[in-house]
A and B are shown apart, each in its own frame.
Chain A
Amino acid sequence: MSKKKVVVGMSGGVDSSVCAYLLKEQGYDVIGVTMQIWQEDSPAYCEREGGCCGLSAVEDARRVAATIDIPYYVMNFRREFQENVIDYFVDEYLHARTPNPCIACNRYVKWESLLERSLQIGADYIATGHYARVEKLSNGRYAIRNSVTAKKDQTYALYNLTQEQLSKTLMPVGDYEKDQIRKIAEEAGLPVAHKKDSQDICFVSDGDYAAFVEREAGSVPGPGNFVTTDGIVVGQHKGITHYTIGQRKGLNISLGYPVFVVAIRPETNEVVLGNDKDVFTDHLIADRVNFMADSEFDPQKTYLGKIRYSHSGTPCHVKMLEKDKILVEFEEPVRAVTPGQALVLYSGDYVAGGGTIIQ
């Protein structure tokens, strides 16, 4: 029988490098691919930034591929990334929602476009260096399972993958601790063993999302009023794209008590401020639901709900409101439920499913 062929998405980092190495050791026919998604490569940009930002990643990935002796290609996904990630990211901010571009990138760029192109060139699977595991459950469904490295867990950003996508996915890194991954890289002589982990949103290098949104969109809503929960105007804000729910820093408002953003109203261009309590709520509504370990949500069952990547999770119950909409009731109030972010439901170690928070 011929070896199974797998395309490994290689970012040039240690995790995806070890992913490729592990699969090769396991006997797969491995092809390394770096997805070119960055947009800025005009000579002016490169002059300013001292070189094309994506190139060092490609050079690292290429070196790793040469070290473990696998074929390696760079595939162009600029258009897919622009349409599915950047345009979405900007549009969400303009609508006063806080997007999660990594989830969109996973769902549409990695597991749609990369998978499609990988199957085209004859692969049976794609693989990534995510800290997560893919398992087939006794009910016949595929699900993402928590990584053994709890603090690196990346399951939250993977809740939206379809059954078809999961059936063609390998994530060998999820079986290891981060320290072990570095050790494997070192022992295998991979040139990226000591490379720093990447942080934050890859396409906004300076962390200034509002400036990025303004550059991309051309124009953004201008300054408007800060109002309190009972409607009193207490100051001027810089424009709604500068704020997110639960934000405390950078408001430059003093009301004699700590104030937080509790709501953003694009229709009136208002940012609503409140106290710490106002930021908490015990329920939310989500739509665009994806089912993973469970083919439907059991209203009797207690799930663990996460409302953002860094949230450790709160026990909750789920009711279907209509076909593609759920009501989630938490056992205790959660802080800063943010429209646009994902609600991810866990059942034990497994991702049961999730949706996009709308209110």
Chain B
Amino acid sequence: MIYLDNAATTKPKKEVIDVMMPFLTEQYGNPSAIYSFSAQNKTAIQKARKQVAELINAKENSIYFTSGGTEADNWALIKTAEAYEEKGRHIITTKIEHHAILHTCDYLEKRGFEITYLGVDNDGRISLEELKQAIRKDTILISVMFANNEVGTIQPIEQIGEIASEHGIVFHTDAVQAFGHVPIDVEAMHIDLLSASGHKIYGPKGVGCLYINNSLKISSLIHGGGQERARRAGTENVPGIVGFGHAAMLAKETLKERMEKETRLRDFFIKELFNRISDIKLNGCKENRLPNNINVSFPYVEGESMLIMLDMQEICASSGSACTAGSIDPSHVLVAMGLSSDEARESVRFTISDETTEEELRATVDAVETIVSRLRSMSPYYDN
């Protein structure tokens, strides 16, 4: 199998699994308990919190573990909206956010909040001018994703943070795709709230975090016991948190070399595709792009058919945003970037990992070339 869907999820590192195992077996104690049997679970969580904090230059006590990126996004948006609703009810976000943001915005809109959705250019980047113009007296929150899950475009986060901070507006970023893949510094970038996830960085599923700047007074989303300094109730997912922490630590240690390696492989793959297949189009931005993302439109080729045919050769890729059922709708991200609905349906996303090899990518290009020529030969619209 050739696995090229690392933006969907990654293979947990063996090291990560190893540090988790004791907490799935012998060290099962509830961290809230009084007896010493549980003490090491408490310290394990503290250690993980420090590991996660260090990856984004945050203070240790500003990291709150959640069930994943989606919960963090919900928490950030809903509770910021509630905390600041006396100041105003206007929120700014973008058209290319993940559904965890977009559907939460729908929810808030129904409850009387007003949302401005910023458009993006052909590269998938927002305009800082447009952002400034969208800001109003009653704007309470700006939420812009750090890097896009479909096309890998990285936003000018530091400048957005500066603008937000100049206007005294809370700034949230959904960094699920960027966390551990590109450098993030919440201080330098003026980030108030940041969502991250464990399973995108070779850690376990079902765990993530929300970074909350200590000066913010936002309340809990999940109510119950006093875990996470009374801000996120529920018995801690100790094995998950430990695995997440360890994955974050590894990510910090290897960030530079992984970025270099993945960037080289990414550019090699793009070059090979363009050398071998005619009339194709790279979606997203050339410069401000995640090192692991390749998103290409193949005109006259149904993306879904290509994915099925790749699967028959045990190559895992993806396209658009898969719905729960597993089928594919034209991507709202590509449409926001100006692609037609047809071009969006013709797109395929390949996302590499730090273990992807050049050989795997060569084999994938071979397969893609064969599939494209077959599907184009069957298309009544393709004129060679």
Q: Could you tell me if B308 and A54 are in contact, using CB atoms closer than 8 angstroms?
A: no
Q: Could you tell me if B312 and A36 are in contact, using CB atoms closer than 8 angstroms?
A: no
A281 nearest CB across to chain B (Å): 42
Q: Could you tell me if B304 and A41 are in contact, using CB atoms closer than 8 angstroms?
A: no
Per-residue CB contact flags for chain B residues 99-114 toward chain A (1 = under 8 Å, else 0) read: 0000100110000000
* Count of A interface residues, CB-CB < 8 Å: 21
| Chain A residues whose CB sits within 8 angstroms of the CB of B305 once the complex forms | 117, 120-121
> Is B325 part of the binding interface, using a Cβ–Cβ cutoff of 8 Å?
yes
Q: Could you tell me if A58 and B302 are in contact, using CB atoms closer than 8 angstroms?
A: no
- Tell me the nearest residue of chain A to B374, going by C-beta: A120
Q: Could you tell me if A74 and B312 are in contact, using CB atoms closer than 8 angstroms?
A: no
Give the residue of A43, A55, A71, A120 whose beta carbon is less than 8 angstroms from that of B302: A120
| Chain B residues whose CB sits within 8 angstroms of the CB of A232 once the complex forms | none
Interface residues of B in 288-314 (CB under 8 A from A): 302, 304-305, 308-309, 311-312
Q: Could you tell me if A78 and B324 are in contact, using CB atoms closer than 8 angstroms?
A: no
Interface hit among B56-64, B89-97, B252-260, B326-334 = B326-334
Instruction: Please report the C-alpha to C-alpha distance between residue A122 and residue B313 in the assembled complex, in whole angstroms.
Output: 12
| Chain A residues whose CB sits within 8 angstroms of the CB of B378 once the complex forms | 119-120
- Tell me the nearest residue of chain B to A35, going by C-beta: B327
Per-residue CB contact flags for chain A residues 32-46 toward chain B (1 = under 8 Å, else 0) read: 001010000101100
> Is B375 part of the binding interface, using a Cβ–Cβ cutoff of 8 Å?
yes
> Is A73 part of the binding interface, using a Cβ–Cβ cutoff of 8 Å?
yes
Instruction: Please report the C-alpha to C-alpha distance between residue A78 and residue B103 in the assembled complex, in whole angstroms.
Output: 21
Contact A58 B106, CB 8 Å, known A71-B312, A119-B378, A120-B375: no
Q: Could you tell me if A41 and B323 are in contact, using CB atoms closer than 8 angstroms?
A: yes
Q: Could you tell me if A121 and B312 are in contact, using CB atoms closer than 8 angstroms?
A: yes
| Chain A residues whose CB sits within 8 angstroms of the CB of B328 once the complex forms | 76
Instruction: Please report the C-alpha to C-alpha distance between residue A58 and residue B308 in the assembled complex, in whole angstroms.
Output: 17
Q: Could you tell me if A74 and B325 are in contact, using CB atoms closer than 8 angstroms?
A: yes
> Is A75 part of the binding interface, using a Cβ–Cβ cutoff of 8 Å?
yes
Contact A121 B103, CB 8 Å, known A52-B324, A75-B327: no
Q: Could you tell me if A74 and B302 are in contact, using CB atoms closer than 8 angstroms?
A: no
Per-residue CB contact flags for chain A residues 119-140 toward chain B (1 = under 8 Å, else 0) read: 1111000000000000000000
B23 nearest CB across to chain A (Å): 32
| Chain B residues whose CB sits within 8 angstroms of the CB of A79 once the complex forms | 341
Supply 15 further A-B pairs (C-beta < 8 A) apart from A117-B304, A121-B308, A122-B309: A41-B324, A43-B103, A43-B107, A52-B324, A58-B326, A73-B311, A74-B327, A76-B304, A76-B329, A78-B329, A79-B341, A117-B305, A120-B378, A121-B305, A121-B312
Measured CB to CB, the residues of A under 8 A from B are 34, 36, 41, 43-44, 52, 54-55, 58, 71, 73-76, 78-79, 117, 119-122
Mind listing 8 A-B residue pairs with CB under 8 Å? A34-B325, A36-B323, A58-B326, A73-B308, A74-B327, A78-B329, A120-B309, A121-B308
